[in-house]
Amino acid sequence: MSAAQIGKTDALILNPIGYYMHYDPSPIMVMQPTIQMAETFSKDRLSPMLRDTPVLRDKVNDKSRNSGNTILQKIFPGGHVTMVGANSPSSLASRPIRILLADEIDRYPATAGNEGDPLLLAGKRLATFWNKKEVCVSTPTNKETSRIAVEFEHSTQEEWNVPCPACGAFTPLLWANIVFDRDKLDEIGCTCPACGVVSSETEWKEQYINGKFVAAHPERKVRGFHLNALASLFVDWREIVEKFLTANEEKKKGNIELLKVWTNTEMGETWEEDGEQIETDDLYKRREKYNCEVPEEVLVLTAGVDVQDDRFEAEVVGWGVDKESWGIKYQVIYGDLKLKPVWDELDRFLSQTFTTADGRHLKIICACVDSGGHFTTQVYRFCKERTARRVFAIKGKGGAEVPYFNRPSTANNIKTPLFTVGVDTGKALLYQRLAVQEEGPNYCHFPREKDRGYTQEYFKGLTAEKMVISYKRGKAQYVWTLKDGGYKRNEPLDIRNYATVALEIANPILKPPEHDTTAPAPRRRGRRSRTNGGIL
């Protein structure tokens, strides 16, 4: 288990191939995540090694038509190298092999066709050899689904250690020991836990030649090794630190993807999803007084509507530059949905004109109305009559693979445009935004005024769900579920999701209105503290 681009394919895939071809001829299988990647490995990695290594050059005859050699198979005296894709069940079920070299196993599909885990299928082909060997190599991914993390967990768990330049104690190169000042990235060092001395990158790297792997469980039979990018001679520590700082800045804006990639590819560690559950009290405490109907930073308004058997629940959301958002109004409209007056009241709610603090008048530019309940036809008719106002019917669909929204379909009895919304994708996006702690891009504001509907019950509903790992037909997937023992009404979460997708459907240009360049720029109300929820 290691960081990316640290030489693991050379050390643990190519060199073993060369060793067995030269010293101990055997049937070898190299397994890549896909057939295409297997072909690329053969052309770009294996063939140049065979061509440029004198003792291997004449062992494979690629020039003869009768040699049996192809892109995916190289035959040599006493054995062969066969390259397969983990996504191809047929290539995993033919002749026996002695050496299995499995590369990037965290990228393997959950199942090869319908036949099960590809790594287990390939492993069964080793059964007839007493001196078999299996090598698994990968950069890790998510903690809950990582194959290489499971393999490493049951191994000797050997970490790369280097003698301390000051005291000589063998020390693992851990990120926690790296010392740096973001304003002086030319002076990055690493602290020795034994003596406390901070030595420079150059001093540590001079000791690499004396480094060794130290096992946490030397008694175990399976040997496992871990390397991060700090141990690489190909990468400067400054580059690693700069990537971390960039990823950390993006995290503050609600984008965790860069930090996730950095953890996997630089530290060689699994990523543990922990941002998909938001605490109710944290959001409730950060409510703020607008002292106006709509803050001046708001450029456009959207709305989301949930349709229940005895009521509508609707929210108007304001959007500013970089999708900073302001909750404007949350309202419940009770009534008999079989009768026209309650639909007229919903229409009046969506037709409102709102006034900003700087005197602009805003209307809702797009609204999404859920059609998935018992009043589907009525929703279709309501939205059909208001298509010109961009009031659209939507239908939610679960699954992480479902896109946020597609082109609308009119294949319904009313011929109204119907958008299919990937609600799981939307919830993940919304929870990332709710986790943003500083005002600015993606930050979510909520009002404190009592008549706007943002009560404790609202925030309980907004945070009623969490994302958990689930397995379907052996495949790990993330699903959204209500919190155990928590609030059971999740309408505010769904409705904010609908209001958000309404923004994506309308796709407005979120730029501030042009002001008189001689006038002072409008002042923001204040920067929100991340420590106590107050205004600084």
pLDDT digits (tens, 9 = 90+) for 348-385: 999 999 999 999 999 999 999 999 888 999 999 999 99
The dihedral through the CA atoms of 93, 94, 98, 99 has a sign that is negative
Cβ-based burial of 501 (10 A; exposed 0-12, middle 13-18, buried ≥19): buried
CA 323, 397, 368, 332 dihedral sign is: negative
Residues forming a β-bridge with 27? 80
- Can you read off the two tokens belonging to residue 434? 């709710």
Nearest partner of 412 among 441, 451, 372, 468, judged by Cα? 372
Answer yes or no: are the C-beta atoms of 231 and 208 closer than 8 Å: yes
Computed over every residue of the chain, the mean pLDDT equals 87
Express each pLDDT in 29-63 by its tens digit.
999 999 999 999 999 999 999 999 999 988 887 66
Token output for 179: 């010392």
248-254 contacts, C-beta under 8 A, 24 or more apart: 252/436, 252/437, 252/438, 253/436, 253/440, 253/441, 253/442, 254/432, 254/433, 254/435, 254/436, 254/441, 254/442
Q: What is the pLDDT of residues 66-109, one digit of tens each?
A: 567 889 999 999 999 999 998 887 777 767 899 999 999 998 88
Q: What is the pLDDT of residue 114?
A: 66
Check pLDDT > 60 for residue 204.
Answer: yes
pLDDT digits (tens, 9 = 90+) for 433-491: 888 888 989 999 999 998 999 999 999 999 888 776 655 554 556 677 787 665 668 89
Pairing assessment for the beta strands 212-215 and 158-163 based on DSSP bridges? antiparallel
Q: Give the dihedral sign, CA 301/288/487/431.
A: positive
Q: Name residues whose C-beta falls within 8 Å of residue 380's C-beta, 6 or more positions apart in sequence.
A: 371, 393, 412, 413, 414, 416, 418
Fold of 280-463+491-506: Nucleotidyltransferase; domain 5 (3.30.420)
Going by C-beta distance under 8 Å and a sequence separation of 6 or more, which residues neighbour residue 234? Answer: 5, 6, 7
> Per residue in 218-270, pLDDT tens?
999 999 999 999 999 888 999 999 999 999 888 777 678 888 899 999 999 99
DSSP class of residue 522 equals: P
Can you name the residues that pair with 178 across neighbouring β-strands? 190
98 with 132: CB under 8 angstroms? yes
Mean pLDDT of 178-196: 90
Parallel, antiparallel, or unpaired: how do β-strands 79-85 and 99-103 relate?
Answer: unpaired
Which amino acid, residue 422?
A: G
Say yes or no to pLDDT of 152 above 90.
yes
d(CA 385, CA 390): 10
Q: Is residue 339 predicted with pLDDT exceeding 50?
A: yes
Per-residue pLDDT band at 529 (split at 50, 70, 90):
very low
Q: What is the CATH number of domain 8-139?
A: 3.40.50.300
Return all residues near 300 (Cβ < 8 A) that are at least 6 apart. 318, 319, 362, 365, 503, 506, 508, 510
pLDDT band at 531 (very low <50, low <70, confident <90, very high): very low
The runs of H, that is alpha helices, within 23-146 are 35-41, 47-52, 54-57, 118-123
For residue 293, give both structure tokens. Answer: 């109907």
Between residues 275 and 310, the one the model is more confident about: 310
Q: For residue 24, what are its two tokens?
A: 């101990």
- In the prediction, which pLDDT does 50 show? 93
CATH 3.40.50.300: which residues of the chain? 8-139
> Tokens 């070299």 belong to which residue?
101
**Structure-token pair, residue 189:** 């060092």
Look at residue 513 in the predicted model and tell me its pLDDT: 67
Distance, in Å, from the CA atom of 437 to the CA atom of 529, rounded to the nearest integer, reads: 8
* Stretch 516-531: mean pLDDT: 42
Residue intervals of the chain classified under CATH 3.30.420 are 280-463+491-506
The answer to whether the CB of 424 falls within 8 A of the CB of 430 is: no
Distances in Å between the alpha carbon of 489 and those of 270, 354, 459, 486? 33, 28, 10, 9
**Sign of the C-alpha dihedral computed for residues 126, 127, 132 and 134 taken in this order:** positive
Q: What is the pLDDT of residues 125-141, one digit of tens each?
A: 898 899 999 999 999 98
**For residue 327, pLDDT beyond 50:** yes
* Distance separating alpha carbons of residues 145 and 106, to the nearest angstrom: 8
- Reported in sequence order, the residue ranges of 152-295 that DSSP labels E, i.e. its strands, are 158-163, 170-172, 178-179, 189-191, 198-200, 212-215, 225-226
- Largest separation between any pair of C-alpha atoms in the chain: 88
Please, which pLDDT band fits residue 533 given cuts at 50, 70 and 90? very low
